[in-house]
Amino acid sequence: MILAIDAGNSRIKWGLHDNTDWIASGRGIDIAELTVAWAALPEPERIIIVNVAGECIQAGLLDAVARWHVAPTWVNSSISACGVRNSYENPGQLGADRWAALIGARHRHRDACLVVNAGTALTIDMLSADGVFLGGIIVPGYTSMRQALATNTAALALQPGEFTRFPLNTGDAIASGAVQAMAGAVQRMAEEASVVWARKPVCILSGGDAATLRPHLNLKLKLVDNLVLEGLLVLARTPVSL
């Protein structure tokens, strides 16, 4: 069994895979929640972790997994792995979560695609048909945009709001603006990809705000519950690539 852990900026997502299917999964905002959730899990044979949340979370995760006496593998971006080649100027600077998501997307879809992860940040990455990561962009995610306005303006306090095409109150205007900005960024990158590939790409969409974004994209979509965990599973099954 493989325990895959994705420690992001807002939440820690995890899944236990028995080499056939995910048999347990969850998410939490702190290590204490994970400790409770993992108390009933059987001991995994391997533990693989991607952490973009900093050293404090890394130390907490080390304590949490120590119960199993299984040394975890920490994933970092590399020049190539599992059929994906990294074109970043400095390959190691690519976010490890983006790298895992690209590998997960390659495993699911053997053609050119946009790999979109809608979380604290919205990342939109181009992956060619032959598995080359061609580059991508990072913009604030839905909650980050709304919080930025609340923090940096005097009259736009964080407040409830819903998407509507023509907002008539401030809460809806902010919520709708965030969704439109995210959708616009994805569609713009799809246009850029269409120039390179001479066709509109499939969009592999994941992340906590994927469901919010999905209805506003005029693209062929494949919605994946947690693409980073799927990429970690592929990496764990291919030790030579780590």
The residue from 97, 130, 172, 225 that is catalytic is 97
Residue 72 sits at the vertex; the CA angle it makes with 11 and 67, to the nearest 5 degrees, is 85
Q: Is 30 a catalytic residue?
A: no
| Alpha-carbon gap, residue 41 to 175, rounded angstroms | 39
Provide CB contacts within 8 A for 224, sequence distance 6+: 104, 105, 108, 204, 205, 206, 230
Q: Which amino acid is at 39?
A: A
Q: Which amino acid is at 10?
A: S
Distance of CA 95 to the CA centre of its chain: 10
| Alpha-carbon gap, residue 120 to 212, rounded angstroms | 13
The residues annotated with a catalytic role in the active site are 97
